[in-house]
């Protein structure tokens, strides 16, 4: 006999999974409690009413090409309180019939669940996702309900808040001072990126600025990774600087790194970028000895990529 079981995906969708008997020896040992997997190479089929165990009308069927790769680290929190589980008696009553499962029940029959009924952490997660997409949309949500406006003060919302379209780091630094303080306090990586630009370039507090840019880079914020990496590289810290730029995958495609550079130029518009002596020395040391056209900053190979990125940073802004 094969095995039927429940699968819960990263969007909290509960669905039925099936491992046919002929494939069971391959996968049975992998079905361990508490392990999260990345599953690929499966078939998706329509669930038959007789074996329909969830509200989702599709089932995942394992084949000989299906792979299950354990995920070591996962920060995804499953909202267990939002799921309902069928009793064994209820499933037995439906066994070998053509009936579907009863209609959705969350608590009492005919009960309507509102945002007010949801746990505070779930509401905070919802608002954080809205804020990470658009600050304007979050503001509209807050204006629609006092309860939601209060819930939006959650630290998770400030940590995830999208600041990209809110302001230019220099021009609006006073108007959004309170917002900057709250987002920084709650670990918003984009806020650290903006604060790093202000401190390093505008205030010439290079140590403080680098600390903030480092936090943005370690948080995998693309522009933070690029700017922190190019600054380290320009200051002569070659290996660390190259490591951050390499994380943007320029060896395979320069698209991501070039997009970061364009965004950084916009962020630094109107900000005075000092040409430190260390920058000039790094340019001299890293000048390629190959036949690369050093005046063509757009065509870059593995011999001249770092050199041309430094030249752009020092002279083009």
What residues in the chain have per-residue pLDDT under 50?
A: 75, 103-110, 165
Q: Is the pTM of this model over 0.75?
A: no
Contacts of 53 (CB under 8 A, 6+ apart): 4, 6, 16, 47, 86, 91, 101
> Regarding the domain with residue range 3-90, which homologous superfamily does it belong to in the CATH classification?
Nucleic acid-binding proteins (2.40.50.140)
- Look at residue 164 in the predicted model and tell me its pLDDT: 66
Integer Cα distance of 303 and 214 in angstroms: 26
- Look at residue 154 in the predicted model and tell me its pLDDT: 75
Structure tokens, 102: 């009863």
With contact defined as beta carbons under 8 Å apart, do 89 and 97 qualify?
no
Integer Cα distance of 134 and 196 in angstroms: 22
Structure tokens, 276: 């430190």
Integer Cα distance of 248 and 230 in angstroms: 12
Tokens 């010439």 sit on residue: 204
Largest pairwise CA distance in the chain: 81
Q: How many CA atoms lie within 13 A of 241 on its CB side?
A: 19
- Look at residue 212 in the predicted model and tell me its pLDDT: 95
Structure tokens, 153: 């003060």
Contacts of 277 (CB under 8 A, 6+ apart): none
């Amino acid at each position: 006999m094969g095995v039927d079981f429940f699968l819960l995906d990263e969007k909290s969708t509960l669905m039925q999974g099936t491992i046919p008997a002929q494939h069971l020896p391959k996968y049975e040992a992998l079905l361990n409690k508490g392990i999260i997997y990345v599953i690929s190479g499966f078939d998706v089929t329509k669930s038959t009413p007789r074996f329909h165990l969830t509200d989702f009308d599709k089932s995942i069927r394992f084949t000989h090409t299906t792979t299950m790769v354990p995920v070591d680290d996962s920060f995804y929190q499953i909202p267990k309180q939002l799921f309902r589980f069928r009793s064994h008696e209820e499933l037995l009553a439906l066994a070998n019939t053509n009936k579907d499962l009863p209609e959705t029940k969350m608590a009492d029959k005919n009960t309507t669940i509102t945002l007010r009924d949801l746990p505070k952490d779930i509401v905070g997660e919802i608002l954080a996702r809205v804020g990470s997409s658009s600050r304007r949309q979050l503001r509209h949500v807050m204006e629609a309900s006092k309860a939601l406006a209060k819930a939006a003060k959650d630290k998770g919302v400030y940590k995830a808040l999208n600041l990209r379209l809110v302001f230019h780091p220099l021009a609006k630094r006073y108007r959004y001072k309170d917002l900057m303080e709250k987002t920084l306090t709650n670990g918003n990586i984009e806020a650290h990126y903006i604060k790093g630009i202000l401190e390093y370039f505008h205030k010439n507090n290079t140590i403080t600025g680098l600390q903030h840019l480092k936090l943005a880079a370690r948080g995998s914020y693309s522009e933070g990774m690029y700017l922190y990496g190019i600054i380290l590289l320009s200051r002569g810290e070659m290996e660390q600087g190259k490591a951050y730029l390499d994380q943007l995958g320029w060896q395979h495609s320069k698209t991501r790194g070039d997009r970061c550079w364009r965004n950084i130029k916009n962020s630094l518009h109107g900000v005075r970028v000092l040409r430190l002596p260390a920058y000039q020395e790094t340019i001299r040391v890293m000048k390629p000895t190959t036949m690369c056209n050093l005046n063509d900053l757009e065509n870059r190979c593995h011999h001249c990529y770092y050199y041309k990125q430094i030249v752009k940073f020092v002279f083009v802004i």
